[in-house]
Amino acid sequence: MLAGPLNPPQAALSGVVLGSGALLLLAAAAKLGRTARRAAARGQDAGEDAGEGGAIRAALRIGPSRWRRVELIAGLVETATGAAVCLGYRPAVAGTAMAIQGTIFLSLLTYARLVKAPGGCACVRRPEHPGATVGRPAQARAGFLLAAGVTQAVGAPLTQRWWGSGSAVAERIAAAAIALGVLAALLEAEQPWRTPRCGRRILSPRRDAFAALARHGTFAAVSAAAGPFAGGHTHRRDGCADEFAFRATGRVVVFRVSRTGPGGAPAVQARVEAVLDPGPAA
């Protein structure tokens, strides 16, 4: 290994390919783990979670027994492809295989989105909202795998700087750091990263809390009873909770949103914090 200067383009390409290969390995581990758990509980299909397998299974209407075989085969293929990509084994072949799998994932997710199948992607991590359909971030991630595979297959000499004997220490460190960032971003596309204690989203926590509030039945019920609300709202953070205050006629209604309950599901509480003086009558 040489301690040469950093080559940013080569380090970036290597990091993108490494991160994509690592995602395939994680997806394979999740599929094979689910397959092993089902095999251990064989004969209990009647009690299987109807949402297991996500939107793809729901869209294709595949039964439990057949789905086990599908996930087993997919997990083995992803393991082989991810390992070959990360180890730099036959990069043209490995990159082509990753591009093909990215194309298949993109096609299946697009179809599931078109038919509005519930269950989310459920590729690596379980979706936060089991009834939600596939989102654009999951589709974009599949497209990213396709692009990364093409990059490795076509630009193999550039992406192989990570594994080559002439790669500089700085390039390997930079490629590893980029790979971790790419992997974190790809996992974020399926389910947002949250803080362990409060369950707050690491990226855009306020926007996430407001979206959870807008989807909650409490907000619709209180809005109908106390509204209409004037334009805009104020926000403040209180410990692990987010509070949104809306001004209505003669009052201020405060909604408190937190994710510290069982399963991390959003909990919403509403209260009237103050009564406003409407002013003298006209």
pLDDT value of residue 100: 95
**Encoding tokens for residue 22?**
């690592």
Give the span between the Cα atoms of 9 and 42, in whole angstroms. 50
First to last CA, the chain: 83
Residue 1 — pLDDT band, cuts 50, 70, 90?
very low
Evaluate if residue 207 carries a pLDDT over 60.
yes
* pLDDT average, residue stretch 208-237: 82
pLDDT (tens digit per residue) in 53-97: 678 888 888 887 888 888 899 999 999 999 998 888 888 899 999
Q: Are the CB atoms for 116 and 99 separated by under 8 Å?
A: no
Lowest mean pLDDT among 49-53, 182-186, 221-225, 271-275: 49-53
Evaluate if residue 104 carries a pLDDT over 80.
yes
The values of phi and psi at residue 126, to 5°, are -70, 140
Evaluate if residue 190 carries a pLDDT over 50.
yes
CA dist 215 to 78, 129, 132, 220, Å? 36, 11, 12, 8
Please state the pTM of the whole predicted model.
0.68
User: If we measure between CA atoms, which residue out of 252, 255, 261, 262 comes closest to residue 210?
Assistant: 255
pLDDT (tens digit per residue) in 109-142: 999 889 888 877 777 776 666 667 788 888 889 9
Average pLDDT of every residue of the chain: 79
pLDDT value of residue 69: 87
Q: What percent of the chain has pLDDT over 90?
A: 16
Count Cα neighbours of 30 within 13 Å in the Cβ-side half-sphere: 16
Decide which of 166 and 19 is more confident: 19
